[in-house]
Amino acid sequence: MPEITMPRLSDTMQEGTITRWLKKPGDEIKRGDIIAEVETDKANMEIEAYDTGTLEQIVVNEGQTASIGQVIAIVGSGAGTQKQASPATTRTRTKDTPSSAARETATRSVQVANSKASRSAPGSHAQTLPVACASDWQNGEQGDTNNSKIKASPLARRMAEEHNIDLNQIQGTGPGGRIVRDDIEDFLERATPILVQPAVPQQEVPVVATAMHMTDVEISTPTSMQKTIARRLTESKQTIPHFYIGNDIDMTDALTLRQMFNASAGEKGLKISVNDLIVKSCALALEKFPEINCSWMDGQFVQHKRINIGIAVDIPAGLIVPVIHDANIKGVRSIAREAKTLAEKARASKLTPADLEGGTFSISNLGMIGVTDFIAVINPPEAAIMAIASVRKTYVPIDGQPVIRDLMHVTVSADHRILYGATVARFLQEVKQLLENPYMLLG
């Protein structure tokens, strides 16, 4: 049955009030008849019929208001059916629903969690990093040599400057990998520009934590660095399945080489240390065993393309591990120079974030103190760490004869999620080979 609806009588009209019906139920209606008067926002208008028939029922009475398109009356054939019309509340203006807002948000957060646009060349592993670990880790790819500019919002730059943060160590989560305020805030919250490890692993100095012997104790608050060390190494020990492989390395020839080198260097010249040789040999060995130059991140293997060796330095505030980048391609002298500088900066508390980030393998050397052997805690997110003990004169059989050689015990702690015994053992063999044939370190 044809329905008569409220017509739109002006461009701004949204509803109208029937002021007078000129027809009543039962009346004949012809197309073109004026059947009612309606008051709109602008004027009083007339409603014209577009149908012919009998007015069956008035749905909107005088004095009532209806929206445009709403049924106001029913026209029939005259059969007298008094069907109750369900007022169709069609509104001409549909409310704008936020179309895919919810979906979009979900997508965004998943994107944020799962992938980060890498700043460097495509195909890098950065895309699988979750936010939390990414901020102080730089992927090894030097990729975009043309675009060394980091994308960061002006606000993020300002904040980074204020807090002395190197933007290189921050992974941006903004569009196109832009570093934004959120990323800086994340970074500051973690507050870990420093990678540290304890001086004596697995030997915990009894820390006063309980209330049991409060009268015999002196309580002090750990520094920010100490808190960070505590947190990170606890995390390391709790989450990384450590295994350990040790070996003795005959350092006699290496020491000789060192002596010769240093003698020719003269009084004021650059002196190389045993540690410098160890750094170089580890770096070369890592070239041969790249799987050790790896990280475990969020269930994925992350292969580092650069070899950056961290060297632990003992400082008054605790321990700090500056990094020598690209140790595999640097000569021993460069390494020595750099290590010296880093150690000095460390003691003067002048290390920059750039000095501290990017490490892929660490070395902890307690040889100068007098240690037969020890085991280090892995420095996350690295796959392994090498503990260097003291060089000791030891009798070793050479061609059936006891000969005094300078032996140095070395232990590698490794992450069993990434590495297996055989690999680490072979790696250690390689290091040993290099140090026992130190001329291979030259160049």
Partner 1 sequence: MAEITYRQALHDTLREELLRDENVFLIGEEIGAFEGSYKITAGLLKEFGPKRVVDTPICENGFVGLAAGTAMLGLRPVVEIMTINFILLAMDEIVNHAAKIYYMFGGQCPVPMVIRTPGGGGQQLSATHSQNLEVWFAHVPGLKVMAPSSPADAKGMLRTAIRDNNPVIFLENFALYNTKGEVSDGEYTIPFGKAQITKEGTDLTIISYSRMASVALQVARRMEQEKHLSIEVVDLRSLRPLDHETIINSVRKTNRAIVFEEDWRSYGVGAEIAALVQEEAFDDLDAPIKRVASLEVPLPYSKTLEQEALTGAKQLTEAINALAPRRRRS
171-190 residues in contact with partner 1 (CB under 8 A) are: 173-175, 180-182, 185-186
Q: Please work out the total of residues on this chain that contact partner 1, with binding judged by CB under 8 A.
A: 29
Strand-pair category, 300-303 with 294-297? antiparallel
Catalytic, out of 125, 163, 325, 416: 416
Q: Return d(Cα 278, Cα 207) in angstroms, integer.
A: 34
CB closer to partner 1, 155 vs 263: 155
CB closer to partner 1, 92 vs 300: 92
- Minimum CB separation from partner 1 for residue 69, in Å? 13
Give, in order, the Cα–Cα distances in Å from 443 to each of 280, 327, 430: 10, 12, 17
CB closer to partner 1, 188 vs 442: 188
Q: Return d(Cα 107, Cα 109) in angstroms, integer.
A: 6
Instruction: Tell me: does residue 156 bind partner 1 (CB under 8 A).
Output: yes
Write a three-state SS string for 294-328.
Answer: EEEECCEEEECCCCCEEECEEECCEEECCEECCCC
CB closer to partner 1, 3 vs 186: 186
Candidates 89, 105, 223, 437: give the one binding partner 1 (CB under 8 A). 105
Q: What is the x/- site pattern for partner 1, positions 30-49, by CB under 8 A? A: -----------xxx------
Question: 17 has which bridge partners?
Answer: 39, 65
- Minimum CB separation from partner 1 for residue 175, in Å? 8
CB closer to partner 1, 98 vs 443: 98
- Minimum CB separation from partner 1 for residue 168, in Å? 19
- Give the DSSP per-residue string, 319-360: EE--EETTTTTS-HHHHHHHHHHHHHHHHTT---HHHHS--S
DSSP classification of residue 383: S
Instruction: Tell me: does residue 96 bind partner 1 (CB under 8 A).
Output: yes
4-23 residues in contact with partner 1 (CB under 8 A) are: 11-12, 14
125-154 residues in contact with partner 1 (CB under 8 A) are: 153-154
Q: Return d(Cα 346, Cα 311) in angstroms, integer.
A: 11
In one-letter notation, the amino acid at residue 57 is: Q
Instruction: Tell me: does residue 335 bind partner 1 (CB under 8 A).
Output: no
416 is catalytic: yes
Instruction: Tell me: does residue 157 bind partner 1 (CB under 8 A).
Output: yes
Round to the nearest angstrom and report the end-to-end CA distance of the chain: 98
Nearest one of 253, 274, 275 to 396, comparing CA atoms? 253
- Minimum CB separation from partner 1 for residue 174, in Å? 7
Instruction: Tell me: does residue 417 bind partner 1 (CB under 8 A).
Output: no
CB closer to partner 1, 183 vs 338: 183
Strand-pair category, 384-398 with 361-365? parallel
DSSP classification of residue 215: G
Instruction: Tell me: does residue 227 bind partner 1 (CB under 8 A).
Output: no
Strand-pair category, 71-76 with 53-58? antiparallel
3-state DSSP assignment of residue 1: coil
- Minimum CB separation from partner 1 for residue 4, in Å? 22
Candidates 79, 101, 207, 348: give the one binding partner 1 (CB under 8 A). 101
Instruction: Tell me: does residue 27 bind partner 1 (CB under 8 A).
Output: no
CB closer to partner 1, 44 vs 224: 44
- Residue 421 CB coordination number (10 Å): 12
Write out the residues near partner 1 by the rule CB under 8 A. 11-12, 14, 41-43, 96-99, 101, 104-105, 108, 112, 153-158, 173-175, 180-182, 185-186
| Residues taking part in catalysis | 416
